[in-house]
Amino acid sequence: MPVTAEELVRLLAILAEEENLRVTVKETLKGGAMAGAGAVIGGMCGGPVGLAVGGAVGGACAAYMSRKIQICAEILFEMEPKKRELLYEHFKSIITGIDAHDVTSLGRLIAGDPLIRGQALMGLKDFVGGTMSMQIID
């Protein structure tokens, strides 16, 4: 019985938990804009001292607002069915390249073979980074 999208998501979630992978939403540009806006507003209101204070306050707010870190396994379980199918399509080339006919044999291969485990991790990182616009934190 071939591996289904649901089984693949569960297997990748287990892999992500074992590797303690976390994801963060890419909000670097928003954070920089907030810090810059704080500096500009502070500079307009308080001159050079306001510039420093506004930049510090804007930077602190940006750091607080961009703390959107979640566990990768949770993200995988919360994915909508359409994204699960995209993940399955993304992994089809990896799955067909190895001799695994069901999720149990695929799980054993990922657990036992460092090369296949590395391919699965890279595929997961590529999918999360490209399709979901998130960044994996090792």
Cα dihedral sign for 29, 27, 137, 56? Answer: positive
10-residue mean pLDDT series, the chain (138 residues): 77 85 73 83 88 87 74 86 87 70 72 80 85 76
Residues 91 and 115 in one domain: yes
Q: Which domain holds residue 17?
A: 1-26+69-138
Residues 101 and 123 in one domain: yes
Per-residue buried b or exposed e for 74-89, using 16+ beta carbons within 10 Å of the residue's own CB:
ebbeebeeebbebbbe
Tell me what pLDDT residue 26 has.
60
Residues 100 and 76 in one domain: yes
Residues 14 and 73 in one domain: yes
Tell me what pLDDT residue 102 has.
63
Distance (Å, whole) CA 54 – CA 42:
4
Q: Into how many domains does the chain fold? A: 2
Residues 93 and 81 in one domain: yes
Residues 50 and 103 in one domain: no
Residues 93 and 109 in one domain: yes
Does the pTM surpass 0.85? The reply is no
Residues 58 and 82 in one domain: no
